[in-house]
Structure 1
Amino acid sequence: MPYCSMFASLLGNLCSPPEDVSHGRTRFSSYFYQSVIEYSCWDNYALIGAPTRVCQANGHWSGIAPVCIQSRCGNVARILHGEVIHIEGITPVDTVEFRCHRGYHLLGNASVLCGTDGSWGQMPSCNQVSCQIPLHDSPLVLTFTNGTMMADVREYGCDEGYTIQGNEMIACGEDGYWSGPVPSCNPVACQDFPVIENMVHQPDSVSFGMMIHLLCTEGYYIEGAEALTCGSDGAWEEPLPSCTPVSCGPVPKVSNATTNSSQNFSFGDDFSFVCDEGFSLNGEGRLRCISNGTWYPSPPTCEPVSCGRPQAVPRAELTFAGTEYKNRATIICQEGYNVHGPSVLECSANREWIPFVGYGETDTPVCDPVSCGQPPIVENSIHQELKNYTYLEQFTYQCQEGFSLKGDDVLSCSSAGTWHPVPPSCQRISCGNIPVVSFAMAEGDGTLFGDIVKYTCLGGYQLQGGDTLMCSSSGVWYPPEVGVSPNCIPVSCGSPPVIENSEAASEVFSYNQTYNYKCLYGYVMDGNALIKCGSTGNWSAELPECTPVSCGLPHEVPNSKVFVTGTNLHSTANYTCQRGHRLSGQRTVSCLEDGSWQPLHQNVILCLVEPQI
């Protein structure tokens, strides 16, 4: 058997694709033998026929294809005591809505859906409205009721001592709820408790049947009831209590003290003790009657006064026999000190050492140093702030400017009230010899601080700086005005006058200096070349002149002719011999700066007769 025929016999023939189902869907995996196809309808459609088909060996699907038709639910059933208020239709997903008649409430869903199976969903029912019986507790009392159905009512009241809060009557509504909440009963509130001095109460506000507890403040006790009950009319029971202060009786007795009182004292009263003279209070002198009927603190005692050891006085010795009341102490100052204030003290009743009558004023005793008064005045010294100096204090002298101290500059105040050693003196400072200024004369002969020397320059010299020197406080001479010491410098003639055709001088010349003129090249001096600077700043003598060099006519040479270009510097003269003569020497000569022809002064020019051949 061929291979393909064998494979076909094993698998069978393939089925053709199934036809589509209107308003439905198919599901299958293959077209092979024994493959299954499943059918289903859209929502709101019902399947008519088999839901599956199988591929057979003959290549056909089993059975016939089902169909999908739209569902219908039929007429809507009525409900007792209710009615339909809206209906969309009788096909799937259509709805119908119900409501109950007044006095009835719906049990179930108000809206019912048409199912895909063609039937309506669960229908609701209408039950008569009733209200649940509300609960209440005493002191609330139900005074009337006619039931719990719609429009039935319930009336309430309160027991004695209570007032109703809310509506006294409530009615059952068509929604099954009472028209309001059950009222409540509040106890009657008592009047504010009256204010009683020194009394407090708890709690602050009280109502019928409650008790208020009363308590007196510290130091007081209650007379009457400690608790009161609020009545049904909101009033307090009579009589009201009061608070009375605690008594401490009379003050305790204290020896050596005056009480001056035998009366009884109450809480808050106080009393102060005063000891007799010569006794001091030991403890708290002021007692107070406290809340428990006792005195606080413990009573004091009056002890004999003791002043203790007298306070030490600097630079003094104290002598005393005792430290009790009326004992005395004597003060003796050290050398160089005198007592100021009382020299004898007495122990007083107030525990203090006080001046003994007849031994000084009431000031505190001190040992003041002996006074030497003001230091001696030294002439020409600096007058410092003068005051009275005391024992061991020192004073330092300083001389005024321009004066030097001779002797000890420090004096001390002695224990006898005198100054030691002898005061110094202030003497004028010397600047030494009068300074010598060259080419000047000095006027003045003093050489001490403040002396002045004036200087005058000699002839041919002039003053530079100030003309005076003063002796300074430092012992040196200094210029007091312009700040520059006098100096005599030679008079200046300035630069020499310029002469035409001469060398110009750039430097400046002073008294007694000379200048020698030099003519320029090609010029010669006419006059005295040397001039001198005089004492008045003028140049002496007449000025020379520089004239051009002239060589005159050159020397005549026999048997020659001379041709001259001029007679000034660098002019030339050319010699030519006559026929039959020959030149011996230099043919051309030049005019030199010394006014001579060269080389005539060195060589002789001759025109010699030529020899005959």
Structure 2
Amino acid sequence: MGSAVGLCSSPRAWGRGWIIARLLCFAAISWVLMTQMEVGAWTYHYGDKSDYSWEVARNFCRSFYTDLVAIQNQGEIAYLNRVLPRHRTYYWIGIRKINNVWTWVGTNKALTKEAENWASREPNNKGRNQDCVEIYIKRNHDAGKWNDEHCQKKKRALCYQASCQSSSCSQHGDCIETIGNYTCDCYPGFYGPECEHVVRCKNLDPGPDCSHPLGEFSYNSTCKFRCQEGFELQGLDMLQCLASGNWTAEAPECAAVKCPALATPGRGRLNCTHWHGDFTYNSICTFSCEMGFVRNGSETLECTALGQWTGLPPLCEAVKCPVLTTPGRGRLNCIHWHGDFTYNSTCAFSCETGFVRNGLEALECTALGQWTGRPPRCEAVKCPVLDSPDRGRLNCTHRHGDFTYNSTCAFSCETGFVRNGSETLECTALGQWTERPPCCEVVKCPVLDSPDRGRLNCTHRHGDFTYNSTCTFSCETGFVRNGSETLECTALGQWTERPPCCEAVKCPALDTPGRGQLNCTHWHGDFTYNSTCAFSCETGFVRNGSEMLECTALGQWTGHPPRCEVMRCPKLRVLEPILMNCSHPLGSFSYGSVCRFRCTQGYFLNGTSRVRCQPDAHWSDKMPTCQEEAAPYFKQVLLYMGGGAVALVALLLTGMLIALLIKRLSDKEEEKTLLNPTSNLGSPGVFTNATFDSNL
């Protein structure tokens, strides 16, 4: 009640804690209204005024009683179902799910399968978070059974007041609550209704050091045993009185410490004195050896209180000589009668191939621990010393000394020189090299010749056409070098490039002139140095330029190529009454031009009617003339001569007319096209007249 009052007078929590505190205060104020059931020393309590959440109900029970009720057995459940009044929300009990395990909160022990008292189909965690447990009191079915329920639901608090006290069972047993009383489950070593009696063991003889926490030679009494120096317990050194009233073992005894039994050493003797038994504490043993053997270890040993001898048993060992080792590059073969390298051991020495022994072949170990002589050595066979070749290098590996067996010497040559002989020589077991030393010879390049139409000039440092030889090439006049001017013989025996050649200087290629011919002579290739070309023209054409050109050493011709120009005749000029019509296929009044002539009316042509310009630039005939016609003259003659002469004149005119017609027809066959006198085409004085042409 004091706790309840304290909660009401000084509330300090907020939120849910404050609500719990207020409910506890209310419960404390109304505690007189609680109904109490008491059965012996164990009592049950419940409130009949208010319902609480599980946490508040537990705080209430712990504030005024022990805790929410902890169900012990089915009898307790039956009792509660019988005496408690039915309440519609039922009662909280002290079980809650902690870490997903149903646990008795009062003892913090998990609910066992045997103690479960769930209603049918429970727990079902309906609606989730049903982590607290209620008990059905006076329910129509499942009365006294448990149900998991949400911890915030409000129900009656069912508390208990424990009957067990701190002094119950004499503090030597577990106090177990029962309806109306309690019983004691005594710890091992105790018995009686209140566990007030302790179990006793039989007394032990004087000597051990004992401790009696619960009474002389009683449960948990311990006794420790010890022996004098040199003696040891036969049994456990510590005994304890058990809950059964027996000691953990029989009491031990003291016996003299034993040391390992000793044996007489080989080639020796053993003499012992025993005080407490063979080879036990304080036993003393003395060792000695035969002639020719020496003791290795202590002469006398004593068995100590720790069961160990004061030292290791000694051995009688044969006199030893210094250990011999196999000589380098040799073999050692020994016979040992009494151990390695001891008295009478004999050792024979031999050497590997390529090595010779320097010293005795066999040694023997004497009684004084010394060998009959010094160990021999194996020395490598030597070969003649080698020198580096001229223009070369020597690189040797000496495994056993300079120029000795298995020495290998590699020969190499300077750049531009090659080795003539083996690259590597080896010194054999006979003291000879595998071959004669090589020499270094200069690398050779292919011999070069002077190029055709050229010259070759070489410098040889190590011999003709060898490494570092340089050769310069030049060409004759009119020829040029195709390739490098200078070649050098490399260390690979090759020239730096291919030898050049001398090629004739080239002039520009010439073309045949129009209306002409080209005739060339080539000595060194088409249109190259010393090539000569002659030019000629067709009939009616004349060359304008040099007849002959030559290709010079500079790659130029001696002149410009000539042209073929048409021959021209003197230009013809006419005056009336002469009319002229000309055609010029190759140019005005040039070779091939044709001119035709005729006279105006009242005149007749005296001379040729057609001239042609010839290849020699002359016309084929002279220019004709035009003369007046002869009719008036003939008329006067006829009048003078009378009628007789008329007939003669008429006949003469008729013949002349026929001859004229024949000539006209011949000219028309050659050229029917005449220029019109008014046309601006053609040369001056050359005309075309269609009317004139049609009248022919």
TM-score between the two structures when normalised by the length of structure 2: 0.41
The structure with the largest strand share of the pair is 1
Which has more helix, going by share of residues? 2
Higher relative contact order (CA 8 A, sep 6+): 2
